């Protein structure tokens, strides 16, 4: 697709990977709307990006409905949904609390489903569209402490396969992008120390891959790709 004058909606666009994707799509000529829950960071990010801010929680049905109303009122169309909003809780199974488990699934799984359910209706009517799910290499294999986060990303991967199977006939491309560790606010937001190092991935590395898969001619698509740092040092 040609990104120029396309309309993109990026959830969790106020920080990290979502901000990087919104920036790169905007630089390629897309009209971009970003969502997040926290207002201050959202407004700052939108101003820096020249994007349309929508304060909304992907896990709340009413917020999701309002998000699309705002996008369509503002831009009149939608070409790309990037399901990027995500959070992590990392605890051994025996310490896993129900609240943290359910909140992780509410954003990473239910939120992506609610967002894509509405986007799919718009895309089916147009007989084209693009859904980019930001999953994780956590969706590829389990690990200690991964009960909530890893399982939520496995679920996102599973939903991506189902949506692809359902929506391909409507010329809707569903991409799954699995970043390994990227330096963002994710560690701080998820309660663990992320050690910065110049050898580790940056949001623009993931944005670069998202832009590349979208820009391929609509006759084809890359279902899934994983992005690793070449030689990350802690
Ligand atoms: N960083 C990594 O190493 C890494 C690796 C693999 C995959 N990922 C995935 O990449 C995605 C982005 O993470 P990041 O590293 O960029 O983290 P980040 O810097 O913490 O950004 C997360 C963004 O999501 C928003 N958000 C969180 N919950 C939300 C909700 N319920 N509704 C709407 N927005 C919500 C946050 O804003 P508010 O809190 O204000 O809502 C923020 O804008 C996540 O899906 C994450 O799982 C990250």
Domain contains 121: yes
The CATH number of the domain where 213 resides is what? 3.40.50.720
Q: What's the pLDDT score for residue 208?
A: 98
Residue spans of the chain under pLDDT 50 = none
Q: What angle do CA 180, 63, 181 make, to 5 degrees?
A: 5
Which of 129, 52, 38 minimizes the C-alpha distance to 85?
Answer: 38
Of ligand 1's listed atoms, the one at least distance from the Cα of 16 is: 16
Q: How many domains does the chain have?
A: 1
Q: What's the pLDDT score for residue 207?
A: 98
Q: What's the pLDDT score for residue 80?
A: 99
Q: What's the pLDDT score for residue 234?
A: 84
Of ligand 1's listed atoms, the one at least distance from the Cα of 135 is: 7
Answer whether 14 contacts ligand 1 (Cβ < 6 A): yes
Q: How far, in Å, from the CA of 169 to the mean position of ligand 1?
A: 31
Answer whether 23 contacts ligand 1 (Cβ < 6 A): no
Residue given tokens 């990473």 in the structure block: 108
Domain contains 144: yes
Could you give the 3-state DSSP secondary structure of residue 5? coil
Domain contains 232: no
Domain range for 45 is 7-227
Domain contains 1: no
Q: How far, in Å, from the CA of 184 to the mean position of ligand 1?
A: 9
Q: How far, in Å, from the CA of 27 to the mean position of ligand 1?
A: 21
Quick one: tokens of 232? 């990350």
Q: From CA 85, how far away is CA 93, in angstroms rounded?
A: 24
User: Which positions are catalytic?
Assistant: 136, 149, 153
């Amino acid at each position: 697709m040609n990104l120029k004058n396309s309309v993109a909606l990026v959830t969790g666009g106020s920080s990290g990977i979502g901000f990087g994707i919104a920036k790169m799509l905007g630089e390629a000529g897309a009209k971009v709307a970003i969502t997040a829950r926290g207002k201050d960071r959202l407004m700052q990010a939108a101003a820096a990006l020249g994007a349309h801010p929508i304060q909304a929680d992907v896990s709340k049905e009413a917020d999701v409905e309002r998000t699309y109303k705002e996008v369509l009122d503002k831009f009149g169309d939608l070409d790309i949904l990037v399901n990027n909003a995500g959070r992590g809780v990392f605890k051994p199974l025996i310490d896993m609390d129900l609240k943290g488990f359910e909140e992780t699934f509410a954003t990473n799984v239910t939120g992506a489903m609610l967002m894509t359910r509405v986007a799919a209706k718009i895309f089916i009517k147009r007989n084209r569209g693009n859904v980019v799910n930001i999953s994780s290499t956590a969706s590829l294999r389990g690990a200690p402490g991964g009960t909530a986060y890893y399982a939520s990303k496995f679920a996102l991967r599973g939903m991506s396969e189902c949506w692809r199977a359902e929506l391909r006939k409507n010329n809707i491309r569903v991409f799954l992008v699995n970043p390994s560790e990227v330096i963002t606010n994710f560690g701080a937001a998820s309660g663990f120390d992320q050690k910065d190092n110049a050898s580790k991935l940056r949001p623009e590395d993931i944005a670069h891959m998202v832009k590349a898969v979208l820009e391929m001619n609509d006759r084809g698509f890359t279902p899934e790709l994983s992005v690793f740092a070449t030689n990350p040092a802690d």
